[in-house]
Amino acid sequence: MKRWLTALLLVALPAWAMPGAEAQTPGEVFRKVAPSVVVIRAKGRDISASGQSRFAETGSGVLISPDGKVMTAAHVVHAMDEISVEFLGGETVKAHVVASEPAADLSLLQLARVPAGAKASPLANSDPIQVGDPVIIVGAPYGLSYSLSNGLISARWKPNTVYKTMPLAEFFQTTATINTGNSGGPMFDMKGEVVGIVSHNISKSGGSEGLGFVVTINTAKKLLLERKSFWSGLEGQVLSDAEADLLNLPPGATGYIVKTVAKDSPAEQMGLRGATMVVNLGRGEVPLGGDIILTVEGVKAEAANLAKIRDALSAKSAGSPFKVTVLRAGKVVELTGRMP
């Protein structure tokens, strides 16, 4: 009877309390991973009806390699002009984007240098993770650096199900608190391995309501490390057929209208131009005054072809040329870029 009770108690104990178990308490995990977590501060430009303005973005990220690769969310850095990364202790270094996939809200940064004391976190295999597994998130909600929240995996969503504007992302839903500034930060399992990159939360009140969404780390590994999605530095939108007609595009043509072009990006280097104003054409705001991309490598720049264009560019080797045709001030112009 005594042996049976002892066995029952051992089964009931949480994994972190059992001798020799790999799991740890949230506090132990936090102290282990904090040297890999970073605060990202970026500066960019926005276009509105009144013209161009400057703005700043604060997010989070995680160092994943000793040579200075940092994973974060695309919406924090994708079209920004300046990016700086702050480590535990306050040391700040410059960074630039080397791969990005807005369709999964993921970007990969390269640091100018890696500060002494910084430590890369290992990447888990996110496939075995199940609903109910405990996790922690470390980031900078509302700019409050190195804040910890913990919770559970509350759901798992296949690509192109829960969030249609990010069709390539497999998401974890979590009860761990996510707020502004957490975006791009890491979610860890209780072994201190990265299992996801924070994307966003859905909220009616503006605060956290337990509907936080995190891109699985296997998605990030596939798109940022294995395929290394091409970073253009462009922000814009695909035109609808009605908008294309209003803007006098060639018959049967549509395109991607450019809103902003990040400084020193491949798009800027090839000469693409951003918008100068935003107007309402009756079905939402559209940026005007910049280029409208008609084709990329001969493929029409329309919604149905975005995956084909993405894959074609990602398959090109560094330094190889690619062609883009744009409508600029009523004329079709061909531009040549080079893969970074």
For the chain, percent of residues with pLDDT exceeding 90:
69
CA Rg value for the chain:
22
Alpha helices in the chain (DSSP H): 2-12, 26-33, 74-77, 217-220, 241-246, 266-269, 306-314
Domain range 134-222, CATH architecture: Beta Barrel (2.40)
CA 297/CA 176 separation, integer angstroms:
43
Mean pLDDT, range 63-81, rounded to an integer: 97
- More confident call, 19 vs 327: 327
SS3 207: coil
**DSSP code of residue 284:** S
- More confident call, 201 vs 321: 321
For the ranges 193-197, 237-241, 263-267, the lowest mean pLDDT is seen at 237-241
CA 227/CA 311 separation, integer angstroms:
9
CA 279/CA 286 separation, integer angstroms:
5
pLDDT value, residue 19: 40
User: Which of 221, 218, 124, 136 shows the shortest CA–CA distance to 182?
Assistant: 136
For the chain, percent of residues with pLDDT exceeding 70:
90
What are the start and end residues of each CATH 2.30.42.10 domain in the chain?
A: 234-338
Phi-psi region of 247 (alpha: psi -120 to 50; beta: other; left: phi over 0): alpha
pLDDT value, residue 208: 52
pLDDT value, residue 221: 98
pLDDT tens-place string over residues 140-193? 888 778 899 999 999 999 999 987 889 999 999 999 989 888 999 999 999 999
pLDDT value, residue 22: 58
CB 159 within 8 A of CB 169: yes
Model confidence at 315, pLDDT cuts 50, 70, 90, reads confident
What are the start and end residues of each CATH 2.40.10.10 domain in the chain?
A: 33-111, 134-222
pTM beyond 0.95: the answer is no
Location of structure tokens 């972190």: 16
Location of structure tokens 């075995």: 128
Phi, psi of 8 (to 5 degrees): -65, -40
Q: Kindly tell me if the per-residue pLDDT of 216 is higher than 60.
A: yes
**DSSP code of residue 317:** P
Mean pLDDT, range 316-340, rounded to an integer: 93
DSSP per residue, 10-73: HHHS-GGGSTT-S---HHHHHHHHGGGEEEEEEEEEEEETTEEEEEEEEEEEEE-STT-EEEE-
Specify the CATH number for 234-338; select among 3.90.1150.10, 2.60.120.680, 1.10.10.10, 2.30.42.10: 2.30.42.10
**DSSP code of residue 112:** S
Mean pLDDT, range 100-108, rounded to an integer: 95
Q: Kindly tell me if the per-residue pLDDT of 58 is higher than 90.
A: yes
pLDDT tens-place string over residues 245-284? 888 887 878 899 999 999 999 999 999 999 999 988 777 7
Mean pLDDT, range 74-96, rounded to an integer: 95
Which amino acid appears at position 238 of this protein?
V
Which CATH superfamily groups domain 33-111? Trypsin-like serine proteases (2.40.10.10)
CA 251/CA 333 separation, integer angstroms:
17
SS3 337: strand
Give catalytic residues, as residue numbers.
Answer: 75, 105, 183
User: Which of 227, 228, 233, 223 shows the shortest CA–CA distance to 324?
Assistant: 233
User: Which of 33, 63, 49, 13 shows the shortest CA–CA distance to 184?
Assistant: 63
pLDDT tens-place string over residues 151-164? 999 999 999 998 78
